[in-house]
Structure 1
Amino acid sequence: MASSTSSAINHPSNGSQTSSALAKRILLSCWLLSITYIWIASEDSSFDTIDHEWMLDEQSRIEEGYHHHRADPLDRHANLLQEEERPPEMEGSNDTNDDDDGSSADSTKATTAHTYKLSKIPEALRPITYNECCVPAIQIDTHPTPKDMQCFGTCYNERACSDPLYPFETVELKEKYGHLRNVTSLTFKELKDRCVLHPPWLVPNVTWCSHSDLDLTSASSAAQDDDEATASVYGHVPEPGCSLASNGGGSGAWQHVFILPSAKFAFCGIPKVGITQWIQFSRFVAGAKDYPSLPHYKMDNDFFRFDKLTPSVQEEIFTSKEWTWAVFLREPAERLLSAYLDKIASVSGQEKIFDALGTNATAAGFTFDDFVQRLDMEVNETGCKVNKNDRSVLNGMTGLGWCSDPHWRPQIMSCGLFANLDRFQFVGDINNAPEHTKQLLDSVGLWESHGKHFINGGVDKEAGHKLHMCRLKSYPHNHTEHVGFQQKDEERNATAANTAYGHSKNSKDALDKYYTPELLKLVREKLYADDYRLYNLVREKKLTDGKQLAMQLSGGTC
């Protein structure tokens, strides 16, 4: 035992040599493993990146409230948008801090991704953090505070209340288009005289082409702030501004023209041809977060209304080749019936008619046949003012001309189509709205930025209470609710346009109920014959270019 121990103590070099050899073998193995790992990594350099990006994407989803029980409606909508490119800050995001477990960096990057995605959404759809309605800052010094702030003010957008640039995108646009026409008591009287009391034409002379009345190359250079100097630019069409001195009859041709200066786009709205949604779209482009609301009284609309601009700006917009003009048409008999059902057949409409005609309010009613026959009457009046001495003449409802209410005034009288059709680059059919709207907005650069993001309708109930029709909120009910401006709802196979205050009367389905063959013939061949000439070319020939349409209708004389 002692010998054995002694041997071990006396020969330590053998164990040391064994340990050294083992260490060398371990080092060699580690070196070989290292070489192998480097070779594998070089063959598939995306391995680490894929894993990291998957984790980052999952973290991003959690941060964004991807799971429905955590997400608000806007965030859900943001995730349903077309996948956008990653923000530049996130490119090459595989580096990690050795002193950190990476969770802080991932959280920051996820927040960046979320912010970037929201920046791709139009302002009107971004989260609502402000709950008031206000007079836009740009108008605070020129407009008295309205009694009904909900219907006249801009709601939910703090920028509109504090930033005098709203609703314009740039200072340059504001400087050029942010000055409205100054209507003094004197100019009001002059407009009323020219547009209502003694209009130069009660019935238009249909020519379709502008001919020498409009010189697109030189007219804009002679622009002046003088009403008479600019009147000839529009041919034999009542001058812009008539609607400022008249409601309904005598309102002229330009009452419902809306402009989007950033796109140099002018849209001729025609009552009963989807005009409400186009006004909503103009506010949507401007960033109004209450865009689904009833839009007609909103003060920020003033800057989009052609009739309210200064004469020199109006002339430039109408004559400049840089501006695109567009209009949508509707089947005339269908539109006429829609106007009757919406504006006349209602109880309040009947009461106004009976009162104006001096008849008994308990009578059988003012039927659709009565209405059409009255439109067929000859008018011997010299102006649009109500003749109190002759109650057989009902202002806006006797005959068809400039005195007619715009809801049933012939479509060709809107925006001077009867005389300047060749000025319009696009003439669409409301019955083909999905295709034509996308085509039009693509051509003016508004589809990708705004059109494809537009969502019909909005939140009309909050905390169990119904919101006022003037302050509906801008996020959608769900992702299937008509995403894309004027686009068809795939599930319902319908181009939804109704809102919480909608006034669709399903007039297309009611044609057989209200029209006799004789009445339909009167509408098609006499009362609205020129409307049908134009509409049939758009519908049957699939023509959308105003100059081509004008050439065909005028016999090639444009």
Structure 2
Amino acid sequence: MQRKSARKVSFCAILCCLLISFMCVDHPFLRISGKIQKIIYESVASTTLVKYSTDGNVSKISKNTLLSFNRSDGHNIRQNMSKLSRKVVPRLTKEELHQIKRYTYYSSPIVVTKYKLIFFWNEKSGCTYWKSLLQFIQGLHNKEVHDPRRNGLTNLMQFKDNEITDMMFNEAWTKAVFVREPRERILSSFLEKGLNNACMMDICRRPAVKSFSEFLTLIKHCKDVHWSSQVKLPRYLYKNTMIGRMPDIYTFTEKLLTKIGAWHDTVKDWLHSKEQLKRTRPHATSAREKLFQYYNDTKTQDIIFEMYADDYEVFKFDKKYFNFNKYP
């Protein structure tokens, strides 16, 4: 009898040890009973952990754990977590892809595959300068800048949708956008396009405007890329996009080209060359020097603030009135 009692005690001790080991070690077979309220996948280093919740209590198991679920009909289902967990693949909707690619080859972002760069340029925001620069760093000695059929530049519309998605979410690719303060940009559009009879007939089917206020009224219903909003990407994508602004164009140039590995003495010399100045000068309107001439009241500025509210919000432009006393 004593031997039998001793055996029972030993058996119970062993059983307790096994139970404790089962609870403390990530056992390859884990049975979860009851209703699972939530399963969340969480990547930690090379191991995917799965958080599951039963009755509000959250626990963790490894992706290689075999789960055993008791169905209501009495059958038992076993499923390996490596099969349950699926890699989250970023996707872009058709609308987002259309928005990113833009409407035509003439307005599509520029892609420099050599340096893994997608550059989102904007009309009336130094686009001649940027296209010329992107030609130069690729060794494209081409006098044509704006015609996509002849300038030698690659644009985003030439890629497949799945390729664009991969590029947009791939950290190896640099995404950059260059923008201009709306008041300055719209004034530049007025001086170059609004006062040009041929341009206005081509764009709006009407003669040139006679005043800046008339131009601001006109562009509310006559749409064109030269005065449309510069917010041309889904907003969440700007978080991983380098943003440059007109006053810091040369500083941003150095920062961007350094990041992609294209900044060197040859580029520095080109930036101050007669060739570069010759290309950009015909498009200069001196809008910055004329700001106080045309924005001489708060009402006109309020119109711009309202029309281009997205630009001011997304690109963090300073939404303050010009100081007319300081600049007579």
Report if TM-score (shorter chain) is over 0.5.
yes
Conserved in 2, the CA contact under 8 Å of 1:457 and 1:499?
Answer: no
Conserved in 1, the CA contact under 8 Å of 2:99 and 2:234?
Answer: no
SS at match of 2:226: coil
Residues 349 and 455 of structure 1, relative CA distance in 2, 3 Å threshold:
same
Aligned with 2:173 (options 323, 327, 331): 323
Q: Does 1:511 align with 2:291?
A: yes
Residues 365 and 421 of structure 1, relative CA distance in 2, 3 Å threshold:
closer
Q: Which has the larger radius of gyration?
A: 1
Within-5 A mapping of 1:160-199:
none
Shift of 1:280: 1.2
Aligned to 2:279: 499
Residues 303 and 511 of structure 1, relative CA distance in 2, 3 Å threshold:
closer
Conserved in 1, the CA contact under 8 Å of 2:194 and 2:209?
Answer: no
Shift of 1:519: 0.9
Residues 305 and 444 of structure 1, relative CA distance in 2, 3 Å threshold:
same
Aligned to 1:369: 213
Residues 298 and 537 of structure 1, relative CA distance in 2, 3 Å threshold:
closer
Q: Structure 2 unaligned runs (5+)?
A: 1-86, 321-328
SS at match of 2:178: strand
Q: Does 1:345 align with 2:195?
A: yes
Percentage identity across aligned positions?
A: 21
Q: Does 1:314 align with 2:180?
A: no
TM-score by length of 1: 0.37
Aligned to 1:520: 301
Q: What amino acid does structure 2 have at the position aligned with 1:418?
A: R
- Name the structure with the higher strand share: 2
Shift of 1:455: 4.1
SS at match of 1:428: strand
Q: What amino acid does structure 2 have at the position aligned with 1:522?
A: I
Q: What amino acid does structure 2 have at the position aligned with 1:278?
A: W
Residues 500 and 302 of structure 1, relative CA distance in 2, 3 Å threshold:
closer
Conserved in 2, the CA contact under 8 Å of 1:259 and 1:267?
Answer: yes
Q: Distance in 1 between matches of 2:311 and 2:209?
A: 29
Aligned with 2:113 (options 261, 270, 283): 261
Q: Deviations over 1:389-439 (max 9, x none)?
A: xxxxx6xx1xxxxxx311111111x2x053421131x11122012222111
SS at match of 1:536: coil
Shift of 1:515: 2.5
Q: Distance in 1 between matches of 2:94 and 2:263?
A: 35
Shift of 1:270: 0.8
Shift of 1:500: 7.1
Aligned to 2:104: 243
Q: Does 1:440 align with 2:256?
A: yes
Aligned with 2:225 (options 406, 410, 416): 406
Within-5 A mapping of 1:35-54:
none
Q: Does 1:219 align with 2:80?
A: no
Q: Does 1:532 align with 2:312?
A: yes
SS at match of 1:272: coil
Shift of 1:295: 1.0
TM-score by length of 2: 0.61
Q: Distance in 1 between matches of 2:282 and 2:272?
A: 12
SS at match of 1:510: helix
Tell me whether 337-346 or 498-507 shows the greater mean CA deviation: 498-507
Residues 449 and 307 of structure 1, relative CA distance in 2, 3 Å threshold:
farther
Number of residues paired by the alignment?
Answer: 233
Q: Distance in 2 between matches of 1:444 and 1:502?
A: 29
Q: Distance in 2 between matches of 1:241 and 1:411?
A: 12
Q: Structure 1 unaligned runs (5+)?
A: 1-215, 221-229, 248-254, 377-393, 398-403, 459-475, 477-481, 483-496, 541-558
